[in-house]
Amino acid sequence: MAKSNSSTVALALGLLFLTLVGDCYGQCSENFRVGYYNGKCGKVDIEAIVFHVVKKYFMENKDTVADLVRLQFHDCFVRGCDASILLEGEDTEKTSRNNLSVDGYEIIEDAKVALDKYCPGVVSCADIIVLAARAAAHLGGAYWYDVETGRKDGMISLASDAQRDLPRRSIPIPDAVKLFAGFGLDTNDFVYLLGCHTVGTAHCANFQERLYNFKNSGQADPTMDRTFASSLEKTCPRNVNSTNEAFLDQTKGSEFVMDNGFFKRILEGKGLLEVDQQLALDPLTKDIVERAAYDEKIFLAKVGPAMRKMGLIGVLTQGQVRLGTCKKVL
C-alpha cells in the first residue's frame, strides 16, 4: 500500500469521499446495473470477451491475478472507479510513486481493442477494469460474483491525488477502517480486500524497515516471527537498496491462489507488510481474520462481494466512453 499523512487526514478523507460512494448494491438504475451491456453490441457477449483476454494472460503469467485486483483498488480509491489510472501524460496518477509498481495496464488495453472491434466506443475502460478484476479473482480461485456495469470514463488524472488518497502500508488499523468506511466499505470488506494479499509480492523497500529499524528502534518489528524475519534478511540485506521481492502470502505452493493462506500466516506472525500483520492483532479485525483462517470458504465467498462494493466508488454514469484506447494521453 502507499503513503498517507495521519489518522486525522485518514478520517477526513473518509468523510470527504462519502459523497462519492454509490448508494446501491445490485440493480441500481437503467444506466448502471448488472447486465447493462446485454444487447448493446448485437449478440456479442461483452463480459465473455473480457474474461477471454484475462484468461489468455493468466495462462501465461499467474501474477495476472494480483495485477488486476490491485489495479481496481488503485483506480477506485482515487477519484472513484473511472479508469483515471490508465491515462498517460505528465503528472497523471500512473506517474505517482504510489502507482509505479502497479501492473496489468496492457491487459485492459488489449480488452479495449478487442471490444472496440465489435462495437466502438460502447464499453468503458472503467467497466473493463472491474470486469477484468473479477475474471482474475475467479481464475485465482475466488467464487464468481456479479458486478454492475454502465460506468463512464473520467478525464482527470493527477499524481497528487494518488499520492494523497492511497493508504500507506503502515496505516493503523483503526484509521484504515475509518478510511474504508468513508468509501462505503465496512470492516469485513476491509479485511477481505486486504486479504487479496494472498496473491502478489512486495519489494524490499516496502518492508525493510520492519527488519532492521522498526519505528526508529534499531530493531526488528517485535510482532514479526523471528524465523520469518531471518529468511527475509537474506532476501533484503541490511543497508542494501535491493530490487528483490517477497510473496505477501508466505504459504508455499499457494502464492498465486486466492485462498485463506494469507490469514493463516499473519496469525503466525508472518505478515510481510506492517498493516497485514496488524490485521491479525487489532481488536477491530482479529476475530474476522481468525474466522477466515479457520474456514477456507469464507474468504472465497466474501472477497467477491467486497470487490463488487469497491466497484461502486465514485461511479460516473454520465460522460464519455474512450474510443479505441484506454491510455489516452492528457
Q: What interhelical angle do 296-310 and 125-139 show, nearest 10?
A: 180
Q: Is 138 annotated as a binding residue?
A: no
The closest of 72, 74, 81 to 22, measured between CA atoms, is: 81
Q: 43 burial class (0-12, 13-18, 19+ CB within 10 angstroms)? A: exposed
Q: Is 93 annotated as a binding residue?
A: yes
- Which of 52, 74, 138, 203 is labelled catalytic? 74
- The radius of gyration of the chain from alpha carbons, rounded to an integer in Å, stands at 19
Q: Is 84 annotated as a binding residue?
A: yes
DSSP 8-class letter at 271: -
The closest of 182, 194, 196, 159 to 7, measured between CA atoms, is: 182
Q: Is 110 annotated as a binding residue?
A: no
Joined grid coordinates for residue 225: 516471527
Pairing of strands 245-247, 33-34: unpaired
Q: Is 189 annotated as a binding residue?
A: no
- Whether 203 is catalytic is no
Q: Is 249 annotated as a binding residue?
A: yes
Name the E strands within 94-210. 148-149, 201-203
Q: Is 197 annotated as a binding residue?
A: yes
State the binding site for Ca(2+). Answer: 75, 78, 80, 82, 84, 93, 198, 249, 259
Catalytic residues: 74
State the binding site. Answer: 75, 78, 80, 82, 84, 93, 167, 197-198, 249, 259
State the binding site for heme b. Answer: 197
